[in-house]
Structure 1
Amino acid sequence: MGALAAAEPTPSASTTAGELRLQVCAIISETADARSLVFEVPEALRARFAYKPGQFLGFRVNVGGQRLTRCYSMSSSPWTDARPQVTIKRVEGGRVSNWMNQCVQVGDWLDVLPPAGHFCLDPHQAADASRPLVLFGGGSGITPVFSLLKAVLHSGQRPVLLVYANRDEGSVIFRDELRQLARAHPEQLQVVHLLDSLQGYLQAAQVRQLVRQWRGADYFICGPGPFMDTVEATLLALGEPRECIHVERFVSPADPSPAAAVAEGAGCELLLVELDGATHQIVPRPGDTLLQSCRAAGLDVPFSCEEGFCGACMCTVPEGQVQLARNDVLSSAELEAGWTLACQGHPQGARVRVQFPA
């Protein structure tokens, strides 16, 4: 792709969709097609950018005359690293990933959305030595997994198995750091590298063999779709509880377009929002999404991309119906369990109740 101008350097903050501006203070070349961007967070924004291991940042960039949004996981851990860091691998045909690798330089300012995502552990879970932790990373899917790994090793003695699959030796991101961690924690950490060039793609039989001594663990999986599907399906077939299997899926959304039409005459008369232990009553404006209704009422509900692909605004619908204009993140199982996206969900019917997770 041709050269593209990086974002104009300016420290001013923006309130559009909650985005702010951070300056790139360092760039680390990880592999031939992946780099890490390290950001300086001003004191005034420290609280907004406090994050949990495994979360991601959203970026809004101008590429080819279009305003695009993409989310990239942080490979840093708040418990071990002084500054947030995202790691981005070039994707063939990926406009933003190539722009991030080719054009962004130290000193540039980028429009950044606050941290979001549920693929994470809290300090108590990280330090829980009673349950093993099994991490599956495929390719650039190692990014949030690496954040979790560093947090757990820093917090206690919880045994950890990391299974990391890559195309070949040259594709292994964080190779030296992983080697150092394995040497520093020989009794706690086991790292297994799988290379497609030598062993082929990961198969169910390999997954069964790898986890044979690690049953009853918490599992975190991130990588290419077929890789994650194989691991998740195998673990479920082994009888591992679904609630102990955590999968991080990212998709590149389509270019911005008008939202899908909402059924006429099906607007909501009363919206009940359960947030932080309190219930709020809202009379939504016709056509507004759940998120728009909540923000108009002054509620500080979680959100990030506002385009239906990051999952930061996930909430459940215990009463009534919600119609999604777009969904690029919720699985069929999550939809059946009553989850929806506040940024894309339109309340339908006389009375709707939604609940945001604590």
Structure 2
Amino acid sequence: MNAPIHSAIFTEPAPYWQPGVDDTLECVAVHDETHDVRTFTFRAVPARRFAYLPGQFITLELEIDGETVNRCYTLSSTPTRPDTVTITVKRVPGGQVSNWLHDNMKPGQHVSVLGPSGEFSYASAPVRPYLFLSAGSGITPLMSMSRALADLGPQLDIAFVHSARTPADLIFRHELVQIARMRPGFRQAAIVQSRHPEPEWHGLEGFLDLAALERLVPDFRQRAVYCCGPAPYMSAVRKLLTDAGYDMALYHEESFNFAELAASPVVEEAGCQAETAECEGGFEVRFAKLGDVITTAPGQTVLAAAQQQGLRLPSSCSQGVCGTCKTKLLEGKVDMKHGGGIRQREIDQGWILPCCSIPLTPLVLDR
């Protein structure tokens, strides 16, 4: 007698995940990609199907040592497989969240999330031949795009060039080779700084430069480029392409580097942004717990004013996306134009994101 097939296979499809309404994921699998990179697979609780643009990210809300910590991670999964999502996380020395995830996140654990959000996706531009350029863990959004296009694209024309320190640091190494074998229009190559500890490495060694790019992708000037990686890498790619006469109107890069933004002050020119006459003057903002008082300039966000006046507040993206600066508004009104980093029910409860909130009246914040 045949073993029974799980009845869930025959149930009606789950409804779609609604960002801002649904917010709970359960870890269902963990596996290593490299010696210091791990992929975490999640399903929605209750069951939901996920619809998002390949390349978008989610924001995890974690309790670490009694503190709520928000971090954004690009989805490495593809929406063509809608029942689960994955993030692929590199363990960073001293990194609070990456180390916590590697050491603590196990199947069965629940995590609160925001999103998916973000604008970095091939879906935002007309279909054309693509060139994906990535370095290190910046491969994740481009892997999401590659998986989606491999699943959906009847005729692919994708060149994918990934840079890493060594062959042992190549994330998704075997899967990219497999996609290239199965889909003739998908070409992939890797460049490593050093072949150690794999002396038999037959790929390119060194750094991405014009000679290497012209060798690997001779027609790169006719392709839409999508780039993600550490800031120095993306800066070098921009210079390489500009010097090569590439049309930078076809260039796209992942614009959020949360670790760097968190360490840098918000630079914001004061100017009226709110669509109201009350924006004509700045306002006093009082922090109830800290005891500090600041004054915003006309059209200036609370976060920008605080940092300009020497008050350091928790922040990461500075664009209303990650939710790190979330604060309870005790008194007053703001004009808040967020990018998905706060739920509607939280707004209804009086929470704001200081990074994208311009005071319309004097404010009192619960911080």
Which residue among 236, 252, 276 is the counterpart of 2:259?
A: 252
The alpha-carbon deviation at position 287 of structure 1 amounts to 6.2
Paired residues of 2:160 and 2:189 also in contact (CA < 8 A): yes
Q: Which runs of 5+ in 1 are unaligned?
A: 1-16, 273-280, 294-305, 315-341, 350-358
Instruction: Please give the root-mean-square deviation of Cα atoms over the aligned residues, in Å.
Output: 3.8
Q: Are residue 42 (structure 1) and residue 45 (structure 2) matched?
A: yes
TM-score calculated relative to the size of structure 2: 0.64
Paired residues of 2:319 and 2:355 also in contact (CA < 8 A): no
Paired residues of 1:267 and 1:348 also in contact (CA < 8 A): no
Alignment deviations for residues 51-74 of structure 1 (CA, whole Å, 9 cap, x no partner): 110001111223344332211111
Q: 1:66 to 1:221 in 2, by over 3 A?
A: same
Q: Which residue of 2 aligns with 1:191?
A: 188
Write the mapping of 1:168-317 to structure 2, written as runs, cut at 5 A. Answer: 168-185=166-183, 187-198=184-195, 199-248=205-254, 249-252=256-259, 271-272=274-275, 286=283, 307-309=315-317, 311=319
Write the mapping of 1:1-358 to structure 2, written as runs, cut at 5 A. Answer: 20-42=23-45, 46=49, 50-80=51-81, 82-122=83-123, 125=126, 128=127, 131-156=128-153, 157-185=155-183, 187-198=184-195, 199-248=205-254, 249-252=256-259, 271-272=274-275, 286=283, 307-309=315-317, 311=319, 344-345=355-356, 347=358
Identity %: 30
The alpha-carbon deviation at position 89 of structure 1 amounts to 0.7
The alpha-carbon deviation at position 174 of structure 1 amounts to 1.2
Which whole-Å CA distance do the structure 2 matches of 1:72 and 1:92 have between them? 17
Alignment deviations for residues 117-148 of structure 1 (CA, whole Å, 9 cap, x no partner): 111122984xx3xx210001111111111001
Alignment deviations for residues 286-336 of structure 1 (CA, whole Å, 9 cap, x no partner): 46899999xxxxxxxxxxxx935175659xxxxxxxxxxxxxxxxxxxxxx
SS in structure 2 of the partner of residue 271 of structure 1? coil
Q: Which runs of 5+ in 2 are unaligned?
A: 1-19, 196-204, 286-295, 303-313, 323-352, 361-367
Q: 1:207 to 1:254 in 2, by over 3 A?
A: closer
Q: 1:310 to 1:136 in 2, by over 3 A?
A: farther
In structure 2, give the amino acid aligned to 1:21.
T
TM-score calculated relative to the size of structure 1: 0.66
Paired residues of 1:138 and 1:165 also in contact (CA < 8 A): yes
Paired residues of 1:54 and 1:119 also in contact (CA < 8 A): yes
SS in structure 2 of the partner of residue 163 of structure 1? strand
SS in structure 2 of the partner of residue 53 of structure 1? coil
SS in structure 1 of the partner of residue 63 of structure 2? strand
Which whole-Å CA distance do the structure 2 matches of 1:75 and 1:233 have between them? 27
